[in-house]
Amino acid sequence: MRHLRWGTCAVVAVLALATFQASPAAARHGHHHPPHTIDLPHGWQPEGITTDGKSLYSGSLADGAIFRADARTGDGKVLAAGTPGRVAAGLDYDKRRDLLWVVGGPTGEIRAQDADNGKVLATYEFPSATPRFLNDVVVTRHAVFATDSFNQELAVIPLRSGGSRHLPAASAAMTLPLTGDVEFADGFNLNGIVESHHMLISVQSNTGSLFAIDETTGESHTIDLGGTSLTGGDGLELDGRLLYVGRNQGEVDAVRLSHSLDSGRLVATITDPTFDVPTTVALARHSLYVINARFNTPPTPDTPYWITRVDALD
């Protein structure tokens, strides 16, 4: 297992690169070293992040606003203004429809928002459950799936195949009960979610277990990690068979999954001095972009928040 840590020298090197003036030749060829951190607006209270490969999108727990930044330069702005009572927890980019699917945490809703201007195009609400916390989301060819950290089910929005931008009616929202190995307990249960070959993968934050879930039946089985626990596991990002797990303890773990999704092994632990309760992770331009939720810092309108960039594994 590799353990990757940015030391003081690495931070100094990054700062030096940040102040380095590119030569005319480098500018002509488009060489640019991406920033180590990307500032979010003060008071943002981030939790989720997604990417279209060029831009990064981060949601605000405070009011549901959406921030978009250039992954190459770090330049960004608020794409969609917040609204009192609205929440943006996890979000996922839908490349077939050029949409953002945004889950609303305790509000129990999922929104489809235009990725170009942030406009809310549709809102889906789910059968009442108390409490409900829609935490993270993944869009597949056939449906949108969101984890509910308090209820042993997934929130589901069936989609038309072929990538049609026509969105289903609000009445299409449904839930899929989870059966098999997963067992919910007190606290936050299923959190991050991704898809691999028509199977969903999700981490259970309070137990540290990783599950593969049949997206049609809801049947789950434990992915054997050989004794490794992913407690505090939050957002997931999949690169082939390499699964990145953001963990609230201050690290991102990399797990190599078997083809059958029956097992996995921890191959690297990534840490960084700028990590402050990392939650979700997005992979873009050979880099991992990590949200720092700073849950241990009381939020105020002036509290700073940021995204950290670290190198993805080879």
For residue range 182-196, what is the model confidence (pLDDT) as tens digits?
Answer: 999 999 999 999 999
Place 20 in a pLDDT band, splitting at 50, 70 and 90.
very low
3-class secondary structure, 76: strand
Question: What CA–CA distance (Å, rounded) separates 134 from 85?
Answer: 15
pLDDT on residue 1: 55
Chain segment 283-310, per-residue pLDDT in tens: 998 999 999 999 999 999 999 999 999 9
Partnered with residue 221 across adjacent β-strands are 212
Tens digit of each residue's pLDDT (9 = 90 or more) over 103-145: 999 999 999 999 999 999 999 999 766 789 999 999 999 999 9
Token couple for 119: 């406009």
Closest CA to 213 of 174, 246, 180: 180
- Check whether 23 has a pLDDT greater than 90: no
Mean pLDDT of 29-44: 84
Q: Domain-by-domain residue ranges, the chain?
A: 2-311
67, with CB counted inside 10 A (0-12, 13-18, 19+), is buried
Residue 19 has pLDDT above 80, yes or no: no
The overall average pLDDT reported for the chain is 90
User: Which of the two residues, 13 and 30, has the higher pLDDT score?
Assistant: 30
Number of C-beta neighbours around residue 241 at 10 A: 13
Q: Where does residue 196 rank: exposed (0-12), middle (13-18), buried (19+ CB within 10 A)? A: middle
pLDDT at residue 73, as a whole number: 96
Contacts 24+ apart (CB under 8 A), 12-16: none
Residues 120, 112 contacting (CB under 8 angstroms): yes
| Fold classification of 2-311 (topology level) | Methylamine Dehydrogenase; Chain H (2.130.10)
149-185 tens-digit pLDDT: 999 999 999 998 655 578 999 999 999 999 999 999 9
Q: Report CA dihedral (8, 11, 16, 17) to the nearest 10 degrees.
A: 150
Strands 2-5 and 264-271: parallel
- The string of DSSP codes covering 107-149 is T-EEEEEETTT--EEEEEE----SS--EEEEEE-SSEEEEEES
- pLDDT at residue 267 tops 70: yes
Q: What is the pLDDT of residues 219-264, one digit of tens each?
A: 999 999 999 999 999 999 999 999 999 999 999 999 999 999 999 9
Q: For the segment 87-105, what is each residue's pLDDT rounded down to a tens digit?
A: 999 999 999 999 999 999 9
Terminal-to-terminal C-alpha distance of the chain: 14
Q: Tokens in use for 195?
A: 């898809």
pTM, two decimal places? 0.89
